[in-house]
Amino acid sequence: MSQLQYLTAVQYPLWDDFVERSPQGAIYAKSWYLQALNCPFQLLAVMDGERIIAGIALTKNGRGEYANPYLGKYLGVYYAEFDGNFYTQETKRRKATELLLSELVKLPTFNYFFHPNFETYLPFHKNDFDNRLRYSYWINLKAQSLSKIEEQFHSKLRSELKFAQKQNYQLVTDIDIASFYKICKQTFLQKSARFPFTAAFFESYCQQLIDLEILKIRGIKNEAGQLMAAIGLLRTPKVTTLILSGFDKKYIGRGANELLIYEGIQLAKKQSDWFDFEGSMIPEIESFYRKFGGAFRPYMTVYKVNTRQFLVNQLRKLIRK
């Protein structure tokens, strides 16, 4: 009989192996990645004997709410692979989900981005949770040659790349963390927005993932050697994700950002099956990513907000206006 259990640190390797094998599995729920984020978290699992068959990483954001922390994207419920036909598999997923929900309904808040491969939403609906649809663009790297990927690029993007390739731009692989932090922060300041990371957190996060050979930082400089833009890529065998990016509008040259991201796609193709732009619902950013020809990958935000939190969120919206 399946049982619900909060995992201890001793069981983290078992959890990480479960995440790696799950169809919904993503780096964001690995215990060592959550530790790199330095956010409070608990791992709630449905156990079948010594085997994890379903689970969720219950993280908290900077406001202490049960929600995705910054740089922690696809969380939500993960499942093991189940035997049988679709009906049997889905029945097992729903039973496991109902066990998780017996604990999740007790939480004061719940607001998570679920993985695009998550489909077992009905148990959440029955328990008065709601959802909002979001999407990212993913490029299938494994099933296509680089030339086929390029064919999907918008004509304006191809023109920008051709222009940039004729310039004396320098693609660089030795961007230090301090420079990466500075240009990412500059991007926010250019928009009169607050950068959400301290220098200490940013350095610790990047260094831990660089040491694990997960994070790759790439940049592009102009002819004078000034850093125009930089990107951070989370690379795993399944997916390479564009997790961080920044540019300096004082120095950015035509086509430089496009060329840098194209470099990131080429780098990803050497290791991963997919390239994930990580999505944005900001029209200008969404339009820019769409030019690279990726396919829609819808995913859900599943949430349940109490009355107090609803009023707090409404107040925040009024303050922003």
Query: What gap in Å lies between CA 248 and CA 263, rounded to an integer?
Result: 18
Percent of the chain with pLDDT over 70: 95
Alpha carbon 187 to its chain's center: 19
Q: Is 137-297 CATH 3.40.630.30?
A: yes
pLDDT at 284: 82
Q: Which CATH architecture has domain 3-128?
A: 3-Layer(aba) Sandwich (3.40)
Query: Mean pLDDT across the chain, nearest whole number?
Result: 94
30 CB-side CA count, 13 A: 14
- In the chain, where does DSSP find H-type helix? 12-21, 31-37, 86-104, 122-126, 146-151, 155-165, 177-190, 199-211, 256-269, 283-290, 307-320
pTM: 0.91
Find the mean pLDDT for residues 300-307.
83
**pLDDT(255) > 60:** yes
62 burial via Cβ count (<10 Å: 0-12, 13-18, 19+): exposed
**pLDDT(309) > 80:** no
Find the mean pLDDT for residues 90-108.
97
**DSSP conformation class of 294:** P
With CA atoms as reference, report the closest residue to 258 among 305, 225, 293.
Answer: 293
Strands 51-59 and 295-305: unpaired
Query: What gap in Å lies between CA 122 and CA 110, rounded to an integer?
Result: 16
Model pLDDT for residues 107-139, shown as the tens digit of each residue: 999 999 999 999 999 999 999 999 999 999 999
Structure-block tokens of residue 100? 């998780």
263 burial via Cβ count (<10 Å: 0-12, 13-18, 19+): middle
Model pLDDT for residues 154-212, shown as the tens digit of each residue: 999 999 999 999 999 999 999 999 999 999 999 999 988 899 999 999 999 999 999 99
Please say whether the dihedral angle defined by the alpha carbons of residues 212, 182, 316 and 283, taken in this order, is positive or negative: negative
Structure-block tokens of residue 251? 């120095």
Q: At 316, is the pLDDT very low, low, confident or very high (cuts 50, 70, 90)?
A: low
Show me where the domains of the chain are located. 3-128, 137-297
